Chains A and B, each alone.
Chain A
Amino acid sequence: MIGYIESVINGILMGSIYGLTAVGLTLIFGVMKVVNFAHGSILMVGMFAAYWFITLTGLNPYLALVVVVPLLYFFGYYMQKIVIKPIFEAEKHVREPITVIIVTTGIWYVLDNLALLVFGAEFRVAQTSVTGKMIDIAEMYFPVAKLIGAGITFLLGVYLYWFLKHSRMGKAVRATSLDREAATLMGIKQSRIYNIVFGMGCACCGVAACVLVPFYYVYPTVGVPFDIKAFVIVVLGGLGSIPGAILGGIIIGIIETVGAQFMAATWTEMLIYAFFLVVLFVKPSGLFGLRQDY
């Protein structure tokens, strides 16, 4: 019995970190209506940044947040401004800009291969003060790094919720997401909002990267497994919904961990997609998605 409780809690911990990796994706989609295929690569960039920061300074791994998050914010901000915006403008009148998706795919390949060239294909593991540390509660073991990660996810979720609901900028972001043209007419500069949202989406990847590095390895295509999970999570939770992404992540984490206790791990992968299909069938907009198309 205690083993199953351990599994469930471990599932929630890992799941909330999956959710964290998906928050940036859902934020960008919610506002820009663009599926950012470079999401996993941006996570990889963040992980390399965090890895080098931790390895070179030897400081507490979570101090990397102070450096990596702003770094990724500006990385995203300027990537949107320089690479994506011109394409966006060419497709101004299209509701769902397809070419932008192709551009993000291009960014994905460029970043992954650039990392392969610069850092090589080997796997790197950062040795930090929380690496391998466990908390032992009634013979159940929980990794400290994952507990902290789940806590950071929760805080980020609350912050983003507050930001979008109550701050002036958040209101502008929501207005743009609801109706681009009306928002522009109200004096909101759409392109600037897009830059900021893309930057924030990447900054969320930065947070996820700092949470992952203390217990995960880094290599040039590390984004890919998380990428696929993030897409499932985002659609499951409802595209554009931040609580949806986090809860979607937790659900996937629980299915993965608990499912594996009853069947071979190979099957849990199938279970996740089966659950995903059922949700899409019953509630096509996802668990927390709005009924109407926004």
Chain B
Amino acid sequence: MNLKKFIVPAIVLAMGTASFSAYAAEKVVKIGNILPLSGPSASVGIQGKQAREMAVDEINKAGGIKALGGAKLKLLFADSKGDPTTGVTETERFISTEKVAMLTGAWNSSVTYPATQVAERYGVPFVVEVSVRDTITERGFKNVFRIAAKDSWWTRDQFRFLSDMQKEFKTPIKKVAFVYENGDWGTGFAEKWRGLAKAAGYQVVLDEPYPSTASDLTPVVLKLKRSNPDVVFMTSNAADAILLTKTMTDLKVNVKAIVTSGGGHADPSYLAAVGKSAEYLFDIVEWETDLNRPGLKETNEKFKKLYGYNLTGEAVDAYASMYLVKDVLERAKSTDPNALRKALASTKLCGGKTGLLAYNCIQFDQTGQNKNASLVIVQVRSGKDGKMERITVWPKNVRRAGYKVVFPQPNK
């Protein structure tokens, strides 16, 4: 009896020590992540953190980085608060104190912009998973790689979508109208639309900025109706998106398609407020939960079980960024920044866990921009329960299985 009393704790102790020493001997690769974990963008920052944790957990459980003797990934998080100065300080700390192998982040373009500058100075590779500002990858940097589509691609893809639709449905489009809020965002989009319309040979019949705070948008809609376009491009915040959609339905503005730019049109309260008035509208987004991608359903279920909500565009990009880090480490076979940079530049990561994205492969161009990154276009339709639904329709390879796109939309 006495012996048994002694042996059991001894074995437990021995096992504990053994596992502890095994842990200590195990190689660890530190990845520094800068995210807005508090402040106005906290919700997306936390989505990014949780998605990374899930991915890294999977990678470590599957045996870590095999090329580095099964080294485990270790995530370090820093809260940027969405503030550029804090982001820069944390980047410096990660590089000089924590000696991270790679950096990722930082969601807010305003933080990513200076933080990547720091990484470039120290020569540490920085994977930008979401920030969209064009100039982030347009400074000739060697260490900055972006997964997400950049800002100017939103308008580009809206026009690509339109030309694809024309081909698919053999409906020619000649006249386009632009209706946009008169802030930085709306006017920026309009500027790009003008160039794209000219290149595609469309006739611009209306180019109308309006104040987002307007109490009545009937005048704008009357003007739109009179200009009689085939397709309307819109950039709106939530309140004005509601007013415009309802007024367009009321005044029976008949067009072949309405193409919107996320923002207010992607706000959940928008669909709840306008209901059927939004039927057939096309909206552009980074990602949608109903994408027709292998393994997406299972991953989403796992994510939902862990954190209680569906995957988002931000979360999927962050999730993919961790598999990209793994892939790069496997190919570089070291944590030397030069080797990592070379491996990143020659990335061709297809399928697998990155297959949740709307496109097939991650591949970087000379500037470090993922050249395959794309956006998706959804069509708003009323579901069986009368609730409005966003259904992915473009690009064609991710279109919801069995869905028939309505183009041109029927007259009101």
Contact = CB atoms under 8 A, between A and B. Distances in A.
Interface size class of B (residues with CB under 8 A): 20 to 34
B218 interface: yes
B209 A7 contact: no
B223 A261 contact: yes
A217 B222 contact: no
Given A124-B273, A257-B218, A260-B223, 6 more contacts: A11-B219, A123-B269, A215-B246, A261-B223, A261-B226, A266-B182
Interface string B246-285: 1001111000000000000000111011110100000000
Main DSSP-derived SS at the A contact region: helix
Given A123-B269, A125-B273, A265-B210, A256 B238 contact: no
B411 interface: no
A264 B180 CA distance: 11
Given A125-B274, A266-B209, A266-B211, A261 B243 contact: no
A226 B215 CA distance: 7
Interface string B329-344: 0000000000000000
Main DSSP-derived SS at the B contact region: helix
A132 interface: yes
Contacts of B211: 265-266, 269
A132 B239 contact: no
B97 interface: no
B110 to A, nearest CB: 24
Interface string A269-283: 100000000000000
Interface of A: 3, 6-7, 10-11, 14, 18, 121-125, 127, 132, 134, 141, 143, 215, 217, 219, 224-226, 229, 253, 256-261, 264-266, 268-269
Among B213, B219, B251, chain A packs the most CB atoms within 10 A around the CB of B219
Q: Which 6 A-B pairs have the closest CB atoms?
A: A260-B219, A122-B269, A265-B210, A225-B215, A257-B219, A125-B273
Given A217-B273, A257-B222, A266-B182, A132 B209 contact: no
A125 B242 contact: yes
B22 interface: no
A86 to B, nearest CB: 34
B230 interface: no
B216 interface: yes
B220 interface: yes
A132 B249 contact: yes
Contacts of B25: none
Nearest to B218: A10
Contact of B242 (A10, A217, A256): A217
A3 B239 contact: no
A279 to B, nearest CB: 20
A266 B222 CA distance: 15
Nearest to A13: B218
Given A217-B243, A265-B214, A123 B219 contact: no
B219 A7 contact: yes
B208 interface: yes
B219 A256 contact: yes
A219 B272 CA distance: 13
Contacts of B242: 123, 125, 217
Interface in B194-234: 208-211, 213-220, 222-223, 226
A211 to B, nearest CB: 13
A219 B241 CA distance: 14
A229 B215 contact: yes
Contacts of B272: 122-123
A225 B239 CA distance: 11
A11 B242 CA distance: 20
A262 to B, nearest CB: 9
Contacts of A124: 273
A15 B219 CA distance: 12
Contacts of B222: 3, 6-7, 10, 257, 260-261
B216 A132 contact: no
Contacts of A224: 213
Nearest to B243: A217
A119 B226 CA distance: 38
A268 B238 contact: no
A260 B227 CA distance: 13
Contacts of A268: 219
